[in-house]
């Protein structure tokens, strides 16, 4: 999974202008993030039509605020530069919940 370098919302929107992406917002200190991380490679394989990008909340705190991502782990789907859907809250997410979310977006 690609790691997003520090950037602002305009730079991110330019990066996501073409193609389908899943942004995975996380932080090293977050226990709920550590809970879902082991499932992420399988989720990536299952939804291979998306490019997954990990966003470190602490590295990109300003970006998270601009995007109204107040809880982690969270997921935002972009399709050809447009936000398609988001699964953003502070609750622990299971593999099934993330898969169900991504299936519903498709």
61 — pLDDT class (breaks 50, 70, 90): very high
The residue from 4, 12, 23, 33 that is catalytic is: 33
pLDDT for res 89: 84
Residue 30 designated active-site: yes
Spatial distance between the Cα atoms of 64 and 6, rounded to a whole number of angstroms = 11
Label residue 55 left, alpha or beta by phi (over 0 means left) and psi (-120 to 50 means alpha): beta
The total of structural domains in the chain comes to: 1
Rounded alpha-carbon distances, angstroms, from residue 43 to 25, 38, 49, 81, 103: 15, 10, 11, 22, 11
Do β-strands 51-56 and 2-3 pair in parallel, antiparallel, or remain unpaired? parallel
Q: How many residues does the chain have?
A: 106
CATH number of the CATH domain containing 7: 3.40.30.10
Q: Which of 30, 43, 67, 98 is catalytic?
A: 30
Instruction: Please give the residue range of the domain that contains residue 58.
Output: 2-105
pLDDT of residue 16: 96
Q: Residue 106: is its pLDDT beyond 80? A: no
């Amino acid at each position: 999974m690609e790691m997003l370098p520090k950037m602002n919302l305009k730079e991110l929107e330019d990066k996501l202008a073409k193609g389908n992406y899943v942004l995975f917002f996380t932080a090293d200190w977050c226990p709920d993030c550590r809970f879902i991380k082991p499932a992420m490679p399988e989720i990536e394989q299952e939804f291979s039509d998306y490019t997954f990008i990990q966003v470190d909340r602490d590295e990109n705190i300003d970006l998270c605020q601009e995007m109204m991502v107040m809880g982690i782990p969270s997921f935002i789907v972009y399709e050809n530069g447009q936000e398609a859907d988001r699964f953003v809250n502070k609750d622990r997410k299971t593999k099934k919940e993330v898969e169900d979310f991504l299936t519903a977006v498709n």
